[in-house]
Amino acid sequence: MKEPLTLALPKGRLFKQVQKHFSEKGIIFDFEDRKLTAYDSKGLLKIILVKNSDLPTYVNYGIAGLGICGEDVIYETGLKFNNLLPFDFGGTKICLCGKQGEGEKKDLNGLTIATKFTEFTKDFFHGEGTPVKIIKLNGSVELAPILGLAPYIVDLVETGSTLKANNLEVIRTLKEIGVNLIANPSYYKTNYEKINELINILKD
Ligand code: PRP
């Protein structure tokens, strides 16, 4: 039997969407309770389950040759991968948000933004010529405007229900974010035949 390809998948809401897409293409897998590695039913893949923000690290070091990940996460790492296949699920938007009804002040200059996406936020606003102060958070970013840590946040918005539940709104969409199959470049070079077979199975 051929050696399986190694694929890192992120925990969280993207996982279920990946699992569903793969099963529609005949690649079935599941993780036993609390287990973090699994093989698919065809033996094509060894899958490891990692924290979303750690996924690029595993692929960069070749622990997993392949990964499925949002562009937001990759951007923060500054790492370079082969982008092999865009998926039509998991798409989201990265947005500047604030309290409902306050709108964007004419001048964001010097204002504070709380975010998980510090690199993206810095590059975006500084690229526009708007210096902003950035406070790094790792989650529950919506609390920042409510509790007075920062008037604005930059965060992912998918359904908008988290914003709504916290009386916040989108002020501006900064970027559409897609989900891709990525590869470690040297792993792709040495496994491109098997990887291309996988791409042919997965693409619509
Ligand atoms: C993400 C994001 C928002 C929420 C948006 O958080 O940071 O908080 O999802 O989704 P919605 O528009 O569908 O409500 P995640 O669930 O990854 O948790 P986190 O707050 O720990 O980052």
- Please give the average per-residue pLDDT across 129-140, as a whole number: 95
Q: How far apart are CA 6 and CA 65, in angstroms?
A: 5
Q: Which of 155, 161, 164 to mutate to test the pocket of ligand 1 (most atoms within 8 A of CB)?
A: 155
Distance 160 CA to ligand 1 centre (A): 9
Number of other residues whose CB lies within 10 A of the CB of residue 74: 20
Single-letter amino acid, residue 114 = A
Taking the C-alpha atoms of residue 70 and residue 182, their distance in angstroms, rounded to an integer, is: 10
- Ligand 1, residue 163: give the atom nearest the CA: 14
Task: List the CATH code of the domain at 92-177.
Answer: 3.40.190.10
Minimum-distance ligand 1 atom for the alpha carbon of 156: 2
Q: Which residue in this structure is represented by tokens 């990265």?
A: 94
| Phi–psi pair at 160, nearest 5 degrees | 85, 0
Q: Give the number of the atom of ligand 1 that is nearest the alpha carbon of residue 155.
A: 7
Q: How many residues does the chain have?
A: 204
Residue 79 clears pLDDT 60, i.e. is over it: yes
Cβ atoms of 88 and 204 within 8 Å: the answer is yes
Which tens digit of pLDDT belongs to each residue from 55-64?
999 999 999 9
pLDDT at 141 over 80: yes
Q: Considering the entire predicted model, what is its pTM?
A: 0.91
CATH code matching the domain that covers 5-91+178-203, chosen among 3.50.50.60, 3.40.190.10, 3.40.50.980, 3.30.420.40? 3.40.190.10
What values do phi and psi take at 139, rounded to 5? 175, 175
Calculated CA dihedral for residues 27, 89, 32, 184, nearest 10 degrees: 80
Residue 113: Cβ-neighbour burial (10 angstroms; 0-12, 13-18, 19+): buried
The enclosing H or E element of 128 equals: none
Query: What whole-number distance in Å separates Cα of residue 58 and Cα of residue 55?
Result: 5
Return the pLDDT at 2: 78
Q: How close is the Cα of 156 to the center of ligand 1, in Å?
A: 6
Q: Where are the domains of the chain?
A: 5-91+178-203, 92-177
Q: What is the distance between the alpha carbons of residues 204 and 183, in angstroms, rounded to a whole number?
A: 19
> What's the 13 CA to ligand 1 centre distance in angstroms?
9
Tell me how far the alpha carbon of residue 161 lies from the centroid of ligand 1, in angstroms: 9
Within 6 Å (CB) of ligand 1, which residues are found?
12, 139-142, 155-162
Task: Compute the distance between CA of residue 143 and CA of residue 150 in angstroms, rounded to an integer.
Answer: 9
Query: Tokens 């709504």 appear where?
Result: 164
What is the overall mean pLDDT for the chain? 94
- Judged against a pLDDT cut of 90, whether residue 102 lies above it is answered with no
